[in-house]
Protein backbone atom coordinates (compact mmCIF):
# COMPACT_ATOMS: atom_id res chain seq x y z
CA UNK A 1 0.00 0.00 0.00
CA UNK A 2 2.91 2.37 0.74
CA UNK A 3 4.11 1.79 -2.81
CA UNK A 4 0.82 2.88 -4.38
CA UNK A 5 -0.15 6.28 -5.71
CA UNK A 6 0.84 9.30 -3.65
CA UNK A 7 2.48 7.26 -0.90
CA UNK A 8 5.54 6.40 -2.97
CA UNK A 9 7.11 9.87 -2.81
CA UNK A 10 6.81 10.01 0.97
CA UNK A 11 8.38 6.57 1.23
CA UNK A 12 11.22 7.63 -1.07
CA UNK A 13 11.91 10.58 1.25
CA UNK A 14 12.04 8.28 4.27
CA UNK A 15 14.44 5.89 2.53
CA UNK A 16 16.62 8.81 1.46
CA UNK A 17 16.78 9.97 5.07
CA UNK A 18 18.00 6.56 6.19
CA UNK A 19 20.56 6.50 3.39
CA UNK A 20 21.99 9.86 4.44
CA UNK A 21 22.09 8.80 8.08
CA UNK A 22 24.02 5.67 7.11
CA UNK A 23 26.62 7.74 5.28
CA UNK A 24 27.06 10.09 8.24
CA UNK A 25 27.43 7.23 10.71
CA UNK A 26 29.88 5.23 8.58
CA UNK A 27 32.88 6.76 10.33
CA UNK A 28 31.43 5.96 13.75
CA UNK A 29 31.47 2.21 13.17
CA UNK A 30 27.69 2.09 13.61
CA UNK A 31 25.68 -0.63 11.89
CA UNK A 32 23.68 0.49 8.89
CA UNK A 33 19.90 0.68 8.98
CA UNK A 34 18.15 -2.64 8.45
CA UNK A 35 15.01 -2.48 6.29
CA UNK A 36 12.18 -4.98 6.61
CA UNK A 37 9.38 -4.85 4.04
CA UNK A 38 6.23 -6.81 4.93
CA UNK A 39 3.26 -7.23 2.62
CA UNK A 40 0.21 -9.44 2.25
CA UNK A 41 0.27 -9.03 -1.53
CA UNK A 42 3.33 -8.47 -3.73
CA UNK A 43 2.48 -7.83 -7.41
CA UNK A 44 5.36 -9.16 -9.47
CA UNK A 45 4.54 -8.63 -13.15
CA UNK A 46 5.78 -5.66 -15.13
CA UNK A 47 8.65 -3.21 -14.86
CA UNK A 48 6.64 -0.97 -12.54
CA UNK A 49 5.42 -3.68 -10.21
CA UNK A 50 6.08 -3.54 -6.47
CA UNK A 51 8.38 -6.53 -6.72
CA UNK A 52 10.42 -4.86 -9.48
CA UNK A 53 10.72 -1.70 -7.38
CA UNK A 54 12.04 -3.64 -4.40
CA UNK A 55 14.50 -5.58 -6.53
CA UNK A 56 15.86 -2.30 -7.88
CA UNK A 57 16.10 -0.60 -4.49
CA UNK A 58 17.31 -3.62 -2.53
CA UNK A 59 18.92 -6.07 -5.01
CA UNK A 60 20.64 -8.07 -2.26
CA UNK A 61 17.67 -8.39 0.07
CA UNK A 62 16.81 -11.76 1.56
CA UNK A 63 13.28 -12.90 0.75
CA UNK A 64 10.90 -15.04 2.75
CA UNK A 65 7.62 -16.03 1.09
CA UNK A 66 4.95 -18.42 2.32
CA UNK A 67 3.51 -21.05 0.02
CA UNK A 68 0.08 -19.47 0.45
CA UNK A 69 1.15 -16.08 -0.91
CA UNK A 70 -1.46 -14.80 -3.37
CA UNK A 71 -3.67 -17.85 -3.11
CA UNK A 72 -7.02 -17.08 -4.68
CA UNK A 73 -8.88 -18.43 -1.68
CA UNK A 74 -7.95 -17.17 1.78
CA UNK A 75 -6.96 -19.99 4.14
CA UNK A 76 -9.40 -18.71 6.78
CA UNK A 77 -12.46 -19.33 4.59
CA UNK A 78 -13.50 -22.72 5.86
CA UNK A 79 -16.69 -22.77 3.81
CA UNK A 80 -17.02 -22.46 0.05
CA UNK A 81 -17.52 -18.87 -1.08
CA UNK A 82 -21.07 -18.25 -2.27
CA UNK A 83 -21.46 -16.33 -5.53
CA UNK A 84 -24.79 -14.72 -6.44
CA UNK A 85 -25.52 -13.14 -9.80
CA UNK A 86 -28.03 -10.44 -8.89
CA UNK A 87 -28.60 -7.63 -11.37
CA UNK A 88 -30.49 -4.93 -9.45
CA UNK A 89 -29.53 -3.06 -6.31
CA UNK A 90 -33.05 -3.55 -4.94
CA UNK A 91 -32.81 -7.33 -5.13
CA UNK A 92 -29.32 -7.30 -3.63
CA UNK A 93 -30.57 -5.26 -0.69
CA UNK A 94 -33.51 -7.61 -0.20
CA UNK A 95 -31.15 -10.58 -0.20
CA UNK A 96 -28.78 -8.92 2.26
CA UNK A 97 -31.58 -7.91 4.64
CA UNK A 98 -33.01 -11.43 4.54
CA UNK A 99 -29.58 -12.89 5.33
CA UNK A 100 -29.04 -10.54 8.26
CA UNK A 101 -32.51 -11.04 9.76
CA UNK A 102 -33.22 -14.72 9.10
CA UNK A 103 -31.75 -17.59 11.08
CA UNK A 104 -31.14 -21.08 9.72
CA UNK A 105 -34.20 -22.24 11.63
CA UNK A 106 -36.34 -19.53 10.04
CA UNK A 107 -35.35 -20.32 6.46
CA UNK A 108 -32.97 -23.11 5.53
CA UNK A 109 -32.69 -21.77 1.97
CA UNK A 110 -31.08 -18.52 3.11
CA UNK A 111 -27.39 -18.09 3.91
CA UNK A 112 -28.10 -16.72 7.35
CA UNK A 113 -25.82 -14.02 8.74
CA UNK A 114 -27.93 -13.39 11.81
CA UNK A 115 -25.73 -12.96 14.86
CA UNK A 116 -22.52 -13.19 12.85
CA UNK A 117 -19.74 -10.61 12.83
CA UNK A 118 -20.09 -9.36 9.26
CA UNK A 119 -18.25 -6.87 7.06
CA UNK A 120 -20.18 -5.62 4.02
CA UNK A 121 -18.02 -4.05 1.30
CA UNK A 122 -19.10 -1.51 -1.30
CA UNK A 123 -17.10 0.50 -3.82
CA UNK A 124 -17.98 4.09 -2.90
CA UNK A 125 -18.73 6.28 0.08
CA UNK A 126 -22.19 7.17 -1.23
CA UNK A 127 -23.11 3.51 -1.58
CA UNK A 128 -21.91 2.77 1.94
CA UNK A 129 -24.09 5.56 3.31
CA UNK A 130 -27.13 4.45 1.30
CA UNK A 131 -26.84 0.81 2.34
CA UNK A 132 -26.21 1.75 5.97
CA UNK A 133 -29.33 3.92 6.09
CA UNK A 134 -31.41 1.20 4.42
CA UNK A 135 -30.26 -1.44 6.92
CA UNK A 136 -30.89 0.80 9.92
CA UNK A 137 -34.40 1.48 8.64
CA UNK A 138 -34.99 -2.27 8.64
CA UNK A 139 -33.90 -2.50 12.26
CA UNK A 140 -30.44 -3.94 11.59
CA UNK A 141 -27.67 -2.84 13.95
CA UNK A 142 -24.94 -1.58 11.60
CA UNK A 143 -22.40 1.25 11.38
CA UNK A 144 -20.57 2.80 8.40
CA UNK A 145 -16.82 2.99 7.89
CA UNK A 146 -15.26 5.16 5.17
CA UNK A 147 -12.82 8.03 4.67
CA UNK A 148 -15.39 10.84 4.79
CA UNK A 149 -16.44 10.01 8.34
CA UNK A 150 -14.55 11.97 10.97
CA UNK A 151 -11.64 10.15 12.57
CA UNK A 152 -13.36 10.09 15.97
CA UNK A 153 -16.59 8.63 14.60
CA UNK A 154 -14.70 6.16 12.44
CA UNK A 155 -12.65 4.98 15.41
CA UNK A 156 -15.77 4.68 17.57
CA UNK A 157 -17.62 2.68 14.92
CA UNK A 158 -14.67 0.34 14.46
CA UNK A 159 -14.32 -0.12 18.21
CA UNK A 160 -18.00 -1.03 18.56
CA UNK A 161 -17.66 -3.57 15.77
CA UNK A 162 -14.35 -4.91 17.10
CA UNK A 163 -15.87 -5.62 20.53
CA UNK A 164 -18.80 -7.60 19.16
CA UNK A 165 -18.50 -11.31 19.90
CA UNK A 166 -20.42 -13.54 17.52
CA UNK A 167 -20.02 -16.52 19.85
CA UNK A 168 -22.53 -14.88 22.18
CA UNK A 169 -24.89 -14.54 19.21
CA UNK A 170 -26.32 -11.33 20.62
CA UNK A 171 -25.46 -7.65 20.86
CA UNK A 172 -23.71 -6.76 24.10
CA UNK A 173 -23.99 -3.20 25.30
CA UNK A 174 -23.08 -0.73 22.57
CA UNK A 175 -21.37 -3.25 20.29
CA UNK A 176 -22.47 -3.74 16.68
CA UNK A 177 -22.35 -6.89 14.51
CA UNK A 178 -22.32 -5.33 11.02
CA UNK A 179 -19.75 -2.96 9.52
CA UNK A 180 -20.67 -1.35 6.18
CA UNK A 181 -17.44 -0.22 4.58
CA UNK A 182 -15.34 0.80 1.60
CA UNK A 183 -11.92 -0.65 0.88
CA UNK A 184 -10.58 1.60 3.63
CA UNK A 185 -11.40 -1.34 5.91
CA UNK A 186 -9.82 -3.97 3.66
CA UNK A 187 -6.22 -3.29 4.70
CA UNK A 188 -4.33 -2.34 7.80
CA UNK A 189 -7.05 -3.41 10.23
CA UNK A 190 -6.85 -6.53 12.35
CA UNK A 191 -10.36 -7.10 13.66
CA UNK A 192 -10.63 -10.43 15.48
CA UNK A 193 -13.55 -12.78 15.11
CA UNK A 194 -14.97 -11.63 11.76
CA UNK A 195 -16.98 -14.61 10.54
CA UNK A 196 -18.37 -13.34 7.23
CA UNK A 197 -17.34 -10.99 4.44
CA UNK A 198 -20.03 -9.82 2.02
CA UNK A 199 -19.11 -8.04 -1.20
CA UNK A 200 -22.40 -6.38 -2.04
CA UNK A 201 -20.48 -4.86 -4.94
CA UNK A 202 -17.66 -6.91 -6.39
CA UNK A 203 -14.17 -5.52 -5.90
CA UNK A 204 -12.55 -3.29 -8.52
CA UNK A 205 -9.42 -5.46 -8.78
CA UNK A 206 -8.04 -8.78 -7.62
CA UNK A 207 -5.67 -7.28 -5.04
CA UNK A 208 -8.60 -5.54 -3.36
CA UNK A 209 -10.67 -8.73 -3.61
CA UNK A 210 -8.01 -10.74 -1.78
CA UNK A 211 -7.65 -8.12 0.94
CA UNK A 212 -11.41 -7.96 1.46
CA UNK A 213 -11.74 -11.71 1.79
CA UNK A 214 -8.74 -11.75 4.11
CA UNK A 215 -10.62 -9.80 6.78
CA UNK A 216 -12.12 -12.99 8.19
CA UNK A 217 -10.50 -16.15 9.45
CA UNK A 218 -7.45 -14.32 10.77
CA UNK A 219 -4.76 -15.42 13.24
CA UNK A 220 -5.22 -19.09 12.45
CA UNK A 221 -9.01 -18.96 12.78
CA UNK A 222 -10.55 -20.84 9.86
CA UNK A 223 -14.22 -20.21 10.55
CA UNK A 224 -14.74 -17.46 7.98
CA UNK A 225 -16.89 -17.45 4.87
CA UNK A 226 -17.51 -15.17 1.92
CA UNK A 227 -20.61 -14.06 0.02
CA UNK A 228 -20.16 -12.19 -3.25
CA UNK A 229 -22.78 -10.45 -5.39
CA UNK A 230 -22.09 -9.64 -9.04
CA UNK A 231 -23.92 -8.77 -12.26
CA UNK A 232 -23.80 -9.99 -15.86
CA UNK A 233 -21.10 -7.47 -16.77
CA UNK A 234 -18.75 -9.04 -14.25
CA UNK A 235 -19.34 -12.67 -15.22
CA UNK A 236 -16.08 -13.04 -17.15
CA UNK A 237 -14.11 -11.57 -14.27
CA UNK A 238 -15.88 -13.76 -11.73
CA UNK A 239 -15.14 -16.87 -13.77
CA UNK A 240 -11.43 -16.03 -13.78
CA UNK A 241 -11.36 -15.59 -10.00
CA UNK A 242 -13.43 -18.73 -9.46
CA UNK A 243 -11.09 -20.71 -11.67
CA UNK A 244 -8.10 -19.40 -9.72
CA UNK A 245 -9.81 -20.41 -6.47
CA UNK A 246 -10.35 -23.89 -7.81
CA UNK A 247 -6.78 -24.19 -8.93
CA UNK A 248 -5.47 -22.48 -5.79
CA UNK A 249 -2.50 -21.29 -7.77
CA UNK A 250 -0.77 -17.95 -7.59
CA UNK A 251 -2.91 -15.26 -9.14
CA UNK A 252 -1.37 -12.55 -11.26
CA UNK A 253 -2.03 -9.44 -9.18
CA UNK A 254 -0.10 -6.69 -10.92
CA UNK A 255 -2.01 -3.79 -12.41
CA UNK A 256 0.82 -3.42 -14.93
CA UNK A 257 -0.34 -6.38 -17.02
CA UNK A 258 -0.91 -5.69 -20.70
CA UNK A 259 -4.57 -5.76 -21.67
CA UNK A 260 -5.47 -9.01 -23.40
CA UNK A 261 -8.23 -9.31 -25.99
CA UNK A 262 -11.16 -11.65 -25.58
CA UNK A 263 -9.76 -14.07 -28.17
CA UNK A 264 -6.77 -14.96 -25.97
CA UNK A 265 -5.95 -18.66 -25.97
CA UNK A 266 -7.08 -20.41 -22.81
CA UNK A 267 -3.66 -22.07 -22.68
CA UNK A 268 -2.31 -18.64 -21.76
CA UNK A 269 -4.05 -18.86 -18.41
CA UNK A 270 -1.58 -21.13 -16.71
CA UNK A 271 0.24 -20.83 -13.40
CA UNK A 272 0.34 -17.31 -12.11
CA UNK A 273 -1.21 -16.02 -15.33
CA UNK A 274 -4.67 -17.12 -14.30
CA UNK A 275 -6.23 -13.67 -14.50
CA UNK A 276 -4.56 -12.16 -17.55
CA UNK A 277 -7.90 -11.89 -19.33
CA UNK A 278 -9.37 -9.89 -16.46
CA UNK A 279 -6.96 -6.99 -16.21
CA UNK A 280 -6.30 -3.80 -18.11
CA UNK A 281 -3.08 -1.90 -17.68
CA UNK A 282 -3.25 0.08 -14.40
CA UNK A 283 -7.05 -0.11 -14.28
CA UNK A 284 -7.81 -3.38 -12.57
CA UNK A 285 -11.26 -4.59 -13.58
CA UNK A 286 -12.60 -1.12 -14.36
CA UNK A 287 -11.65 -0.87 -18.04
CA UNK A 288 -12.89 -4.36 -18.79
CA UNK A 289 -16.21 -3.60 -17.07
CA UNK A 290 -16.68 -0.45 -19.14
CA UNK A 291 -15.87 -2.33 -22.34
CA UNK A 292 -18.44 -5.02 -21.60
CA UNK A 293 -21.07 -2.40 -20.80
CA UNK A 294 -20.40 -0.52 -24.03
CA UNK A 295 -20.78 -3.76 -25.97
CA UNK A 296 -24.11 -4.36 -24.25
CA UNK A 297 -25.38 -0.81 -24.86
CA UNK A 298 -28.84 -0.85 -26.35
CA UNK A 299 -29.65 -4.24 -24.84
CA UNK A 300 -29.94 -3.10 -21.24
CA UNK A 301 -29.36 -0.08 -19.04
CA UNK A 302 -27.76 0.39 -15.68
CA UNK A 303 -25.93 -2.58 -14.30
CA UNK A 304 -23.33 -0.55 -12.46
CA UNK A 305 -24.61 -1.74 -9.08
CA UNK A 306 -24.76 1.78 -7.62
CA UNK A 307 -26.95 2.34 -4.57
For residue 210, give the nearest of 71, 35, 43 by alpha carbon.
Answer: 71
How many whole angstroms separate alpha carbon 197 and alpha carbon 213? 6
DSSP assigned state of 250? -
16 lies in the same domain as 162: no
The answer to the question of residue 66 being in a domain is: no
Quick check: is 63 in a domain? Answer: no
* Bigger pLDDT: 229 vs 8: 229
**What rounded mean pLDDT belongs to the chain?**
76
Is position 74 within any domain? no
pLDDT band at 273 (very low <50, low <70, confident <90, very high): very low
13 and 93 inside one domain: no
Strand segments (E) across 24-168: 82-85, 118-121, 142-145
According to DSSP, residue 77 is labeled: B
State how far the alpha carbon of 192 is from the alpha carbons of 40, 165, 215, in Å: 17, 9, 9
| Structural domain for 131, as ranges | 82-295
Structural domain contains residue 302: no
Measured distance CA(93)–CA(161) in Å, rounded: 21
How far CA 22 is from CA of 25, 157, 242, in Å, comes to 5, 42, 48
Q: Assess whether pLDDT exceeds 80 at residue 217.
A: no
- Please state, in angstroms and rounded to a whole number, the distance separating the CA atoms of residues 86 and 232: 8
Give CA 105 to chain center in angstroms.
Answer: 31
Q: How confident is the model at residue 286 (pLDDT cuts 50, 70, 90)?
A: low
221-243 pLDDT, tens digit per residue, is: 666 889 999 999 888 888 877 77
Does 107 share its domain with 250? yes
Q: Does one domain contain both 24 and 105?
A: no
Pair 42, 122 in one domain = no
Residue 27 counted as domain residue: yes
Q: Which residues pair with 83 in a beta bridge?
A: 228
The confidence score (pLDDT) of residue 12 equals 81
pLDDT at residue 265 above 90? no
Please check whether residues 53 and 143 belong to one and the same domain.
no
Which tens digits make up the pLDDT trace of 66-88?
A: 655 544 455 545 567 899 999 99
- For residue 210, name the pLDDT band (cuts at 50, 70, 90): confident
Question: Who wins on pLDDT, 214 or 7?
Answer: 214
CA-based nearest residue to 293, from 232, 207, 225: 232
> What is the model's pLDDT at position 166?
81
Mean pLDDT of 272-287: 46
How would residue 254 be classed by pLDDT, with cut points 50, 70 and 90?
very low
* Residue 32 · residue 82 · CB < 8 Å: no
Name the helix (H) or strand (E) containing 52.
helix 50-57
Count Cα neighbours of 177 within 13 Å in the Cβ-side half-sphere.
Answer: 21
Confidence band of 283 (pLDDT split at 50, 70, 90): very low
Q: Is the pLDDT of residue 282 over 70?
A: no
**Greater confidence, 50 or 214?**
214
Asked whether residue 69 is assigned to any structural domain, the reply reads no
Q: How far apart are CA 115 and CA 89, in angstroms?
A: 24
Average pLDDT value for residue range 5-32: 76
CA 228 to chain centre: 11
- Number of compact structural domains in the chain: 2
The answer to whether residues 173 and 291 belong to one domain is: yes
R_g over Cα of the chain: 21
**Is residue 43 located within the same domain as residue 89?**
no
Can you give the pLDDT at residue 120? 98
pLDDT at 199 over 70: yes
Task: Give strand pairing partners of 179.
Answer: 119, 143
Amino acid sequence: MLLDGGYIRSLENVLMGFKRADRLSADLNVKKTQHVFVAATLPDVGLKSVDAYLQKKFPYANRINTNDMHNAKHYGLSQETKWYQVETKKERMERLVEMLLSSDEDNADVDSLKGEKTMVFLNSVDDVESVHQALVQRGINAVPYHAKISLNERSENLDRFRRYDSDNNADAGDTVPVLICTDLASRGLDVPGVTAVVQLQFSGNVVSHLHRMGRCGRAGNKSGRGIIFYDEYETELIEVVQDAERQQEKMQLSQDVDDREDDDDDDDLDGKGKVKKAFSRKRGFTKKRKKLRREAAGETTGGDGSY
